[in-house]
């Protein structure tokens, strides 16, 4: 899905702070400001002037541009991508797609990450150093934290698998359809007590997947039971803890919102002495080679994360060229990959 809003980093966004802005605010010429900010001020610059320039530069959030210094243009032909977890196969796949698309179009890709809850400076810092022409952003942060950082970024950006009111461009996966497909597989096997390991509480994708889970239950005539839903977030540890809390509810199957939380859930089930899939079936959203390495191999609903990275990159490059972008529909889920972790409901 794509929309246009007030956070755009183009001509309608906040102007980049320049050396001239700092010099003007400090009441000095640009050569003096430049020497002070490079740490090369001679004894002819009074100490109070030096301190004033440094203070104003900090207040204005001025960062020198190491790549464009001395150049007439600020274009670097480099894009940035910011993800919350580098070791998560979902984000690794999106990065791969972005790298391929960027290379085909003559751009380099700078990869950064910011853990959820980390100080919201990564996105803005990358853009303020002008090391990138635009940004691809996948984030698990709360809306307001993300909104603040993006507003300070001052370059065009595209959100991946996230919708933020007022954000200019986004490409999302159809998580609702994927979750429903997973539940339909389980109900076809005769399962009625199906638990759901949800994503981050209140998050966009968590809401979409929870709704898809409910859609699948409703289609099978199964009443929704809130006691069968646990918040696992997007880590294996979260999956372990949420699954442990749900065991007293005696589910016969589990739909995990991510491959990683599914792996954590399976560890808990093994620890509890439950057989997979004889006693309980497990299915995860997203697929990656690691799914086949779990024991038993994890049944999953494939998601086009690499395609998402490609589409988002193409969208960003078109925006950099001043092209209008038509709305992009949510990318549909891929195939159901049936492996050894799902089977008929126990009698």
Q: Is the pLDDT of residue 189 over 80?
A: yes
Q: Which helix (H) or strand (E) holds 262?
A: helix 259-271
282 or 1: which carries more pLDDT confidence? 282
* Residue among 109, 91, 154, 162 at smallest CA distance from 330: 162
Query: Residue 92: which pLDDT band, with cuts at 50, 70 and 90?
Result: very high
Q: Is the pLDDT of residue 175 over 60?
A: yes
Alpha-carbon distance of 246 to 195, in angstroms, equals 8
170-171 and 157-160 strand pairing: parallel
What is the pLDDT of the chain when averaged over all its residues?
86
| The pLDDT value given to residue 42 | 58
| The pLDDT value given to residue 230 | 98
Q: Is the pLDDT of residue 128 over 70?
A: no
264 or 123: which carries more pLDDT confidence? 264
Alpha-carbon distance of 11 to 129, in angstroms, equals 18
Alpha-carbon distance of 298 to 266, in angstroms, equals 9
Alpha-carbon distance of 60 to 75, in angstroms, equals 22
Contact between 147 and 7 under an 8 Å Cβ cutoff? The reply is yes
Q: Is the pLDDT of residue 249 over 50?
A: yes
Q: Model confidence over 107-119: pLDDT tens digits?
A: 999 998 876 665 5
| The pLDDT value given to residue 283 | 99
Alpha-carbon distance of 303 to 176, in angstroms, equals 11
Average pLDDT rounded to a whole number, residues 286-303: 96
Q: Is the pLDDT of residue 45 over 90?
A: no
* Residue among 40, 50, 70, 54 at smallest CA distance from 130: 70
Q: Model confidence over 73-83: pLDDT tens digits?
A: 467 889 999 99
Contact between 337 and 302 under an 8 Å Cβ cutoff? The reply is yes
55 or 244: which carries more pLDDT confidence? 244
Query: Residue 40: which pLDDT band, with cuts at 50, 70 and 90?
Result: low
Q: Structure tokens of 304?
A: 């086009």
Q: Is the pLDDT of residue 120 over 60?
A: no
| The pLDDT value given to residue 6 | 36
| The pLDDT value given to residue 143 | 80
Average pLDDT rounded to a whole number, residues 84-91: 87
Average pLDDT rounded to a whole number, residues 145-152: 80
Average pLDDT rounded to a whole number, residues 153-163: 87
Domains, in order of start, for the chain: 19-59 (no CATH), 78-172+306-320 (3.40.50.2300), 175-304 (3.40.50.2300)
| The pLDDT value given to residue 214 | 99
Q: Is the pLDDT of residue 177 over 70?
A: yes
| The pLDDT value given to residue 260 | 95
Query: Residue 122: which pLDDT band, with cuts at 50, 70 and 90?
Result: low
- What pTM was estimated for this model as a whole? 0.76
157 or 215: which carries more pLDDT confidence? 215
| The pLDDT value given to residue 41 | 59
Q: Considering the chain, what percentage of its residues have pLDDT values greater than 70?
A: 86
Half-sphere exposure for 10 (CA within 13 Å, toward CB):
17
Average pLDDT rounded to a whole number, residues 134-156: 83
Alpha-carbon distance of 304 to 251, in angstroms, equals 29
Q: Model confidence over 197-210: pLDDT tens digits?
A: 999 887 889 999 99
């Amino acid at each position: 899905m794509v929309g246009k809003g007030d956070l755009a980093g183009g001509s309608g966004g906040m102007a980049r702070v320049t050396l001239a802005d700092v010099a003007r605010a400090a009441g000095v010429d640009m050569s003096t400001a430049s020497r002070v900010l490079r740490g090369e001020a001679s004894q002819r610059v009074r100490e109070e002037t030096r301190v004033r320039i440094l203070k104003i530069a900090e207040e204005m959030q001025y960062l020198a541009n190491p790549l464009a210094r001395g150049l007439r243009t600020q274009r670097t032909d480099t894009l940035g991508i910011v993800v919350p977890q580098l070791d998560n196969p979902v984000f690794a796949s999106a990065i791969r797609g972005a790298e391929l698309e960027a290379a085909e179009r003559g751009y380099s890709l700078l990869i950064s990450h910011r853990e959820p809850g980390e100080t919201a400076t990564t996105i803005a810092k990358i853009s303020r150093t002008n090391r990138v022409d635009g940004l691809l952003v996948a984030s698990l942060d709360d809306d307001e934290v993300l909104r603040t950082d993006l507003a300070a970024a001052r370059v065009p950006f595209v959100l991946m698998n996230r919708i933020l009111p007022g954000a200019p461009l986004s490409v999302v996966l159809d998580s609702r359809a994927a979750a429903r497909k997973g539940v339909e597989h389980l109900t076809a096997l005769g399962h009625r007590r199906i638990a759901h390991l949800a994503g981050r509480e209140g998050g966009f994708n968590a809401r979409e997947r929870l709704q898809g889970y409910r859609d699948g239950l409703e289609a099978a005539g199964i009443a929704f039971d809130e006691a069968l839903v646990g918040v696992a977030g997007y880590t294996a540890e979260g999956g372990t803890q949420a699954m442990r809390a749900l065991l007293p509810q005696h589910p016969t199957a589990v739909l995990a919102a991510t491959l990683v939380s599914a792996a954590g859930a399976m560890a808990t089930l093994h620890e509890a002495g439950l057989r997979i899939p004889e006693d309980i079936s497990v299915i995860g959203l997203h697929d990656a080679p690691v799914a086949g390495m779990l024991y038993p191999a994890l049944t999953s609903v494939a998601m086009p994360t690499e395609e998402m990275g490609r589409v988002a990159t193409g969208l960003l490059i078109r925006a950099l060229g001043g092209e209008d972008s038509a709305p992009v529909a949510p990318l549909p889920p891929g195939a159901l990959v049936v492996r050894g972790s799902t089977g008929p409901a126990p009698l």
